[in-house]
């Protein structure tokens, strides 16, 4: 059984996340994808983040009773900053993990910062990674960002990766493959949504209806 793991600040979760990860799950035949809100994102110490319990609740509301998705509070129950490597080890050590193939899912912007993450090389030893090309990034050799991505893989991860259009494979087998997927271009970000909310503008159609209501009721991002 193939399982997706998708972490983020989710401040708030939005339709960009949901649509992109849905397309990944469908293409890769993932039976289930865990959405994993981060407790203290190690990369975002410079701004106020909505309380973890609100971010978790919004992910719960977004996913509702959909079978394909599950919410994991593993990072919220762990003390200190959330490190992806710890989360991967948690999932791989769960009972029944032998029968599951895990895939780590992230956006291209997150991937291009991965060399700042704790023990990031170990991530590629643990699981294959699926990178979603975010709006305006684009993959394919004709796109300048793709050349940058191939460079990045070669210099920061391993020069043994062989990069084709949508995939980077490690010939030595020491690291798992890295897949790239173009997803629908929904140019939505948490930053954008928080700005709209702060300015008293509508965020309808950027987040699921229940999330919009929750943000309003709780007075988040004022
Ligand atoms: P912020 O603007 O606060 O950074 P965000 O919208 O980028 O918020 P995050 O929680 O930081 O949301 O992102 C979690 C993951 O989702 C990251 O891997 C990011 O690359 C990816 N992601 C964010 N927005 C989109 C989108 N519109 N389409 C596809 N992937 C996205
Ligand atoms: Mg982000």
Residue 18 lies in a domain: yes
Quote the number of domains for the chain: 1
Residue 70 lies in a domain: yes
Q: What is the pLDDT of residues 122-180, one digit of tens each?
A: 999 999 999 998 655 545 555 556 778 889 999 999 999 988 877 888 877 789 999 98
Residue 92 lies in a domain: yes
Best mutation site among 25, 133, 190, 192 for ligand 1 pocket (most ligand atoms within 8 Å of CB): 190
> CB within 8 A of 216, min separation 6: which ones?
none
CA angle (47, 131, 17) in 5-degree steps: 55
CA-to-CA distance for 214 and 58, rounded, in angstroms?
7
- 47: CATH: 3.40.50.620
CA-to-CA distance for 76 and 67, rounded, in angstroms?
22
CA-to-CA distance for 65 and 77, rounded, in angstroms?
22
How many CB atoms lie under 10 A from the CB of residue 128? 18
| Ligand in nearest proximity to the CA of 136 | 1
Q: What is the pLDDT of residues 29-61, one digit of tens each?
A: 999 999 999 997 666 666 789 999 999 999 999
Best mutation site among 58, 189, 195 for ligand 1 pocket (most ligand atoms within 8 Å of CB): 189
What's the predicted TM-score (pTM) here? 0.93
What are the E-state strand segments in the chain?
Answer: 2-8, 32-37, 69-71, 101-107, 129-133, 161-163, 167-170, 178-182
Give the residue from 106, 126, 130 showing the smallest Cα distance to 176: 126
- Which pair of tokens denotes residue 77? 């129950």
CA-to-CA distance for 167 and 131, rounded, in angstroms?
9
**Contact 11 CB / ligand 1 (< 6 Å):** yes
- Residue span of the structural domain in which 87 resides: 2-187
Q: What's the CA-to-centroid distance between 200 and ligand 2, angstroms?
A: 22
CA-to-CA distance for 36 and 115, rounded, in angstroms?
20
Residue 127 lies in a domain: yes
Q: Three-state SS for 190?
A: helix
Residue 61 lies in a domain: yes
Q: What's the CA-to-centroid distance between 74 and ligand 1, angstroms?
A: 19
Do 83 and 117 form a contact (C-beta atoms < 8 A)?
yes
Residue 88 lies in a domain: yes
pLDDT computed for residue 143 by the predictor: 59
Residue 215 lies in a domain: no
- Which pair of tokens denotes residue 165? 């259009």
CA-to-CA distance for 33 and 69, rounded, in angstroms?
5
Residue 164 lies in a domain: yes
pLDDT computed for residue 41 by the predictor: 62
Number of residues that this document lists for the chain:
222
Side-chain-side CA neighbours of 95 within 13 Å: the count stands at 0
- φ, ψ (nearest 5 deg) of residue 89: -65, -40
In this prediction, residue 76 has a pLDDT band, given cuts at 50, 70 and 90, of very high
Q: What's the CA-to-centroid distance between 47 and ligand 2, angstroms?
A: 13
């Amino acid at each position: 059984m193939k399982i997706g793991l998708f972490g983020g600040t989710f401040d708030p979760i939005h339709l960009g996340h949901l649509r992109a990860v849905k397309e990944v799950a469908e293409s890769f035949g993932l039976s289930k994808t865990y959405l994993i809100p981060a407790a203290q994102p190690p990369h975002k110490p410079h701004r106020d983040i909505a309380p973890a319990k609100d971010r978790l609740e919004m992910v719960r509301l977004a996913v509702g009773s959909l079978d394909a998705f599950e919410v994991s509070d593993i990072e919220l129950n762990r003390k200190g900053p959330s490190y992806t490597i710890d989360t991967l080890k948690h999932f791989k050590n769960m009972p029944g993990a032998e029968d599951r193939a895990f895939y780590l899912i992230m956006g291209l912007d997150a991937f291009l910062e991965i060399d700042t993450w704790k023990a990031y090389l170990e991530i590629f030893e643990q699981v294959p990674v699926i990178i979603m090309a975010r709006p305006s990034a684009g993959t394919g050799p004709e796109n300048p960002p793709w050349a940058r991505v191939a460079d990045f893989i070669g210099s920061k991860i391993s020069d043994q990766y062989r990069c084709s259009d949508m995939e980077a494979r490690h010939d030595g087998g020491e690291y798992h493959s890295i897949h790239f997927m173009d997803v629908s271009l929904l140019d939505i970000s948490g930053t954008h949504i928080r700005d709209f909310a702060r300015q008293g503008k509508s965020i309808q159609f950027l987040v699921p209806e229940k999330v919009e209501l929750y943000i309003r009721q709780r007075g988040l991002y004022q």
